[in-house]
Structure 1
Amino acid sequence: MESEPLQEKEELFRYDCKQFLIELCMQMKKRFPFEENSLIAMLKVVEPAEALSTKRDLKSLGKLAVHFPTLIKEDELDLLQEQWRDLLYARDTLKGISQSATVFWNDLLSVKDGNNKEKFNLLATFMCNLLALSHSSACIERIFSQINQVKTKQSNRLDTNTVANRLLAKQAITRQEVTYQKWEPSISLIKDAKLGHCHMRYKEREESRKKSNTATLYHSEVNDVDDEELEEDPMPVSFFLQ
């Protein structure tokens, strides 16, 4: 007699779970393009099995590459397509490479032709960059969390440049794998900070990055200070408290 109510609750729970999954799929279908020729569908070429298949759907890799202008230049599209085509011809010689996507495309960088030149350098680099793309906004949300720690209710008048400089300083210290209590800035670093050279170098790199279309695998951290500058002529933190 007591098991009947529990059975009814279990059935209700299973039904609610099923309805939740159905609604989840419907909402995802509304928000993401899952059509046959959509961007998401084309991204399956990063899988080695798909890329090496004679029945692969994406004949022209340029259709995918045009969606990522920061990863590849327009004048490199022809060479990219040429290497994409040659990959199919070389499929028998690549069977020994791991079929893990990250390992496959990384190892493909070292494959050379008869002239001892990298045969698939542009293609492999493009695929590695696709694999390195952030699949969520978690890295951005972490930055916002750091901003909230810097710009609090007590310091809500800080301007953007001050907040940015504090974040850069935090990243520089974190990169040394020490806490701010133990970190000792060098004399040259203090001089650069007073003259604004650190921020100037950061702005110059940002401008250079915007002008060029070359890709990089690491965008999440800004390295504003050279390691050598942090290590030479240490100055105690108490200097700043005087």
Structure 2
Amino acid sequence: MPPKYEQHYREEWEKMSEFKQWLTRAKEDSTKAYCKYWIGTDNASSMTGVNNGVHSLLKTETGNENLVLVRCLCHSLQLAITHASEKSLPRNIEFLIRETYNWFSHSSNRQLFYKELYKTINCGKEPLKITQVCSTRWLSIEPAVRRVIDQWLELKSHFEIVKQKENCYMAEMLYSMYNDPVNHLYLLYLLPILDEVQRVNKNFESNDRDPTKLLNDLVELVESVARRIILPIAQIDVLTATNLESYLDPSPYMGYGFELKLTEYELLPEAERNLRHRCKQFTLKLIQEMRSRLPTNITILRTMSMLSVQETLKAIKPPIIKLAQEFGCQANEIERIVVQWRNIRHTDWENKCSTVEFWSEVYGYKDSADNNPFSELASLAISILSLPHSNAEIERVFSQMNIVKTKLRNRMSLHTLNSILHIRYGLKRSGKCCHSYNVPENVLKQIRGIKESLVMPMTIAIEDGPSTSQAQAHDEADIDDLQILFDLY
């Protein structure tokens, strides 16, 4: 069992600029410390629960009312769509998407038959595969719905043939759903909304987006979805209004694809009213779900956009005082930040395209006295740019971990796994791969020397006749061979 280490609070941290603004010692235990302002989590109830979640417990025990909960927004959007669908849409919509994928996923004969049918209908063009909706894959909903809509006629024809040919109850059930125009209209209404959510979700998952504009993208998404069902003349703040139901449009425009197909299908008036009502209820529920997952201080956080390189270098720009106060800056620091905020546009900067590169340049800027005249402002900007909006990168690490350590390699030690991940991401950061990276010669010499010292005793033991324990030691040495390389770094 490897030894465990605990990091205790150190008094010198209070004097370090990297820590003193956000770290504070716990009152009940001087060996512990808490973050003053922020905690980023996923949306597990144990983390975000109102009564017993980690956030609420920390807030209660530390007495810090400024502690802000920042949920993973990729998780939040996924959960908002899921909950809104469960409460407002017919259950057979989710069943249709799921079972269509399951129908083809385990049968190559069904895939081949559908492929030939699709090519016959579309003059030799091959179909795209039906994708799966997965609760742990945030970007899976929109592609699955889009594939079903794009191949609606072909799928309907396929299940019509199969239900007669195979006398299959599932095929008959799926055909009845594809033959129902209401199901098609539901998906046509959902698709544009899912497309908007998908776009924002990709922005939060990306590593090359401007972080100062991400929260504005999220707010614009909520407002865009709300404008689908709210009266155009309604002068309300969608983020804070408590009575959205009072401003609903009695006959909103449901989208071009929806309205076009609705005229073709010629539904009965009662069926059309019920369809429109449930679509409105889904949209209203989605707005409520997204609003409930926004940070409580979203109004202040939206002002982060003023730190974008375009806004920062403008002659007329909003004051930065409230943003500095929100991030715990002291009065003397705010005074210097205000002066630096006013003067930063008078310096000729090289990086004016990327916000991250711009503030990196500001952070490393030196004047004639080798001092940084924008030190406080740059530190504030770097702190804001480092806020955790999503844990998409953590999910990518989990995926890499599952690739490296499989059931066949389940004896790999944690240290070896951690070293492999460090190497993979180190090569990624440097823009190289295992084929283009040159291992230093001195490292290769050390590897050869250690390898020979390990192999020699094993050779002698094998000549004498290996025992079970010796064979096991040999296997463990093979597993840890790669670890030798990592230790040398």
Shift of 1:100: 7.4
Match of 2:440 in 1: 186
Moved more, 77-86 or 21-30: 77-86
Do the aligned partners of 1:109 and 1:121 also contact (CA within 8 Å) in 2? yes
Structure 1 residues without counterparts, runs of 5 or longer: 67-76, 202-224, 226-242
- Larger mean CA deviation between 84-93 and 165-174 belongs to 84-93
Retained in 1: the 8 A contact 2:340–2:373?
no
Contact 2:341–2:377 under 8 Å retained in 1: no
Matches within 5 A, 1:39-50: 40-41=301-302, 43-46=304-307, 48=311
Quote the residue 2:146 is aligned against.
none
Q: Structure 1 11/53 Cα, relative in aligned 2: closer, same or farther at 3 Å?
A: farther
Q: Contact 1:109/1:118 (CA < 8 Å) preserved in 2?
A: yes
Query: Does 2:265 match 1:6?
Result: yes
For the Cα contact (< 8 Å) 2:344–2:374, is it kept in 1? no
Percent of aligned pairs sharing the same letter: 21
Partner of 2:381: 127
* Pair 1:92–1:186, CA change in 2 (3 A): closer
- Comparing 57-66 and 144-153, the one that deviates more: 57-66
2:362·2:374 contact (CA, 8 Å) conserved in 1? Answer: yes
Does structure 1 residue 61 correspond to structure 2 residue 316? no
Cα distance change on mapping 1:164 and 1:93 into 2, 3 Å: closer
Amino acid at match of 2:291: K
1:83 aligns with 2:320: no
Q: Deviations over 1:108-164 (max 9, x none)?
A: 568888978542233124314422545321111111111000111111232211211
CA distance in 2, matches of 1:21, 1:152: 42
Q: Give matches, 1:88-127, under 5 Å.
A: 89-90=342-343, 102=355, 105=359, 117-127=371-381
What is the root-mean-square deviation of aligned Cα atoms in Å?
4.9
Structure 1 residues 197 and 115: alpha-carbon distance in aligned structure 2, compared to 1, 3 A threshold: same
Shift of 1:98: 10
TM-score, normalised with respect to structure 1: 0.52
Does the Cα contact within 8 Å between 1:34 and 1:41 map onto a contact in 2? no
**Structure-2 separation of matches of 1:187 and 1:114:** 42
Which has the higher relative contact order, 1 or 2, with Cα contacts under 8 A spaced 6 or more apart?
1
Partner of residue 288, structure 2: 26
Q: Distance in 2 between matches of 1:197 and 1:79?
A: 51
Amino acid paired to 1:6: Y
1:138 aligns with 2:392: yes
Q: Distance in 2 between matches of 1:118 and 1:18?
A: 55
Conserved 8 A contact 1:112-1:119: yes
Cα shift readout 1:186-206 (whole Å, capped 9, x = no counterpart): 3422427959897568xxxxx
CA distance in 2, matches of 1:183, 1:52: 46
Structure 1 residues 115 and 28: CA distance shift in structure 2, 3 A: same
User: Distance in 2 between the 1:139 and 1:109 partners?
Assistant: 25
Cα gap change, 1:12 to 1:115, in 2 (>3 Å): farther
1:169 aligns with 2:423: yes
* Alignment partner of 1:158 out of 403, 412, 426: 412
Normalised to the residue count of structure 2, the TM-score between the two structures is 0.30
Q: Is the 8 A contact 2:364 2:372 kept in 1?
A: yes
